[in-house]
Structure 1
């Protein structure tokens, strides 16, 4: 699916060049209102999947606009890896993830444990664990379970809760944090 330009570069490579330029040139506004304070004119997400071996490091929003190709790559990356089903991810969740990552001041990418879950995958996980909601926001593409090696569950949860933009679950025993764009609430320990 990679398109080669006349210069021999793929669309992804061109987007990467653009992103690197935007990162270097874009100012940030640390007093910006809302949960994306410090986000400035760009929003970036960095993740990897231990399940698929895939990595994602991309600017997905510039000067008030989401970048369509970047959003499509995020949707694919956050797919249900068990069924290979892709769903449109609610960008409010991605914004919360990016804002929390920015507040944590780390270069390390998130490890994505779970993004979109098909109803079949969610039902299977419910049979195995009491902690899986019947009507999980994962099935709507509105949630992500994330881990950082360099930050504790509490540190990640506090950063996500500081966004005051959705649900935050602490799963200390399993070493991950759930972030979603649903009602503002928190749980776990």
Structure 2
């Protein structure tokens, strides 16, 4: 993992980040908003894609700085797998995902169902389901649809909602939660 020295990240911080990758403290729901306001020294995201077979376990933020190479890997991982197109994901969405995951106190990675979507993919999905928004935040790199086998949709949605940082959709019938960095709102059952 490459770290830019211009970011001022110390060797000690980097070593601490690697040590913390084994154990990450789980903030309580009441501290979720603080976590998103730089209350943590390290942010980590863990996901896999059943569609591509890829996995990611990435520390992407250390001591107030995003790690450029790590963020690029997250962007590539969350690409539209149907046509292999990536975008710069909104880091607020990644932060919401990471904070929610920590609050759930699980070691299991998220299963990423959908991250970035091209307009073509969104239109195709919209033609097959009334649950796909015409102007979906997925097309702006601001949303993700996620699943955990060890936690219910309601548990995941409560954790994401505790962040008070974006939209949370419950899709119990399909067993996934939508998280985005748009206006704070919730829907679904």
Question: What TM-score, normalized by structure 1, do the two folds share?
Answer: 0.85
Q: Distance in 1 between the 2:170 and 2:50 partners?
A: 20
Q: Deviations over 1:74-131 (max 9, x none)?
A: 0000000001001000000000000000110000000000000000000000000000
For the residue of structure 1 that corresponds to 2:183, the secondary structure is: coil
Point out the structure with the larger helix share. Answer: 2
Could you say which residue in structure 2 is the equivalent of 1:94? 94
Question: Over aligned residue pairs, what C-alpha RMSD do you find?
Answer: 2.6
Unaligned 5+ segments in structure 1 are 4-15
Deviation per CA, 1:18-42: give whole Å up to 9, x if none. Answer: 7423546998987867252796200
**Higher relative contact order (Cα pairs below 8 Å, separated by 6+ residues):** 2
TM-score relative to the length of structure 2: 0.85
The CA distance in 1 between the partners of 2:24 and 2:50, in whole Å, is: 31
1:72 match: 72
1:34 alignment partner, SS class: helix
The superposition leaves residues 39-60 of structure 1 with CA deviations (integer Å, 9 ceiling, x where unpaired) of 6200000000000000000100
Secondary structure of the 1:158 match is helix
Distance 1:17 1:111, change over 3 A: farther
Using the alignment, how far apart are the partners of 1:79 and 1:17 within structure 2? 29
Q: What stretches of structure 2 of length at least 5 have no aligned partner?
A: 3-13
Aligned length: 176
> Are the counterparts in 2 of residues 35 and 162 from structure 1 also a CA contact under 8 Å?
no
Aligned match of 1:49: 49
